[in-house]
């Protein structure tokens, strides 16, 4: 019989990556939790409220998996919201369209500029990684067309000199 960990999708993904044999008779929720926790730093586990691996019962295993799932979800959200990679890519994408990204101070500023530039195509639902993904989902031709239409709606302080000049010509 295969161990069912579908209630813990992030844990299940880690177990799959580790090639854990969930059909093994000895694999329990407890041992699945041990496998998932193996790659997580002890300090991070302690910071998340600590995990008691002393009891090897099935109930404790489910409790551990639930806690690990929450930890992984919070970690994933934190990384996505603060992803330097997405921020750099986003800056490059907006900068190429004439936006002075050095003037954008908050995440809200990035969303505001993107919602104005790509009107009707951006929905505010997540961090900068999500914003960048939404921009990438718009075709190049559509991005160029929307930028040309909506550049004049952007605050002049946020425009590069070339974009400000382009705006005057329109």
Q: What's the mean pLDDT when you consider all of the chain? A: 85
By C-alpha distance, which of 49, 50, 17 is closest to 32? 17
Under 8 Å between Cβ of 99 and 154: yes
Q: What integer pLDDT is reported at residue 42 of this predicted model?
A: 86
| Per-residue pLDDT at 126 | 75
Q: Model confidence over 38-57: pLDDT tens digits?
A: 988 888 888 888 788 999 99
Q: DSSP 3-state assignment of 105?
A: coil
Both tokens of 71, joined, read 């930890």
Query: What pLDDT is stored for residue 18 in this prediction?
Result: 92
Exposed / middle / buried, residue 140 (Cβ in 10 Å: 0-12, 13-18, 19+):
exposed
Buried b (16+ CB within 10 A) or exposed e, 6-24: eebebbbebbeeeebebee
pLDDT at 166 over 80: no
56-92, pLDDT tens digit by residue? 999 999 999 999 998 988 877 665 555 555 578 888 9
Across 123-128, average pLDDT: 82
26: number of Cβ within 10 Å: 7
Listed by start position, the domains of the chain span: 9-82, 86-169
96's CB contacts (< 8 A; 6+ apart) are none
């Amino acid at each position: 019989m295969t161990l069912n960990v579908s209630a813990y999708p992030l844990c299940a993904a880690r177990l799959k990556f580790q090639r854990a044999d969930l059909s093994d008779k000895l694999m329990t929720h407890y041992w699945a939790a041990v496998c998932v926790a193996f790659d997580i730093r002890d300090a991070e586990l302690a910071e998340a409220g600590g995990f008691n691996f002393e009891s090897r019962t099935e109930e404790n295993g489910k409790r551990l998996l639930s806690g690990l799932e929450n930890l992984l979800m919070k970690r994933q959200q934190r990384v996505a919201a603060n992803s330097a990679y997405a921020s750099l890519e986003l800056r490059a994408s907006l900068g190429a369209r004439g936006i002075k990204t050095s003037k954008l101070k908050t995440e809200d500023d990035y969303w505001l500029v993107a919602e104005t530039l790509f009107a009707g195509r951006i929905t505010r639902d997540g961090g900068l990684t999500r914003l960048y993904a939404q921009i990438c989902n718009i075709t190049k031709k559509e991005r160029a067309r929307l930028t040309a239409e909506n550049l004049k709606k952007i605050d002049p302080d946020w425009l590069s000199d070339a974009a400000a000049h382009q705006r005057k010509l329109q």
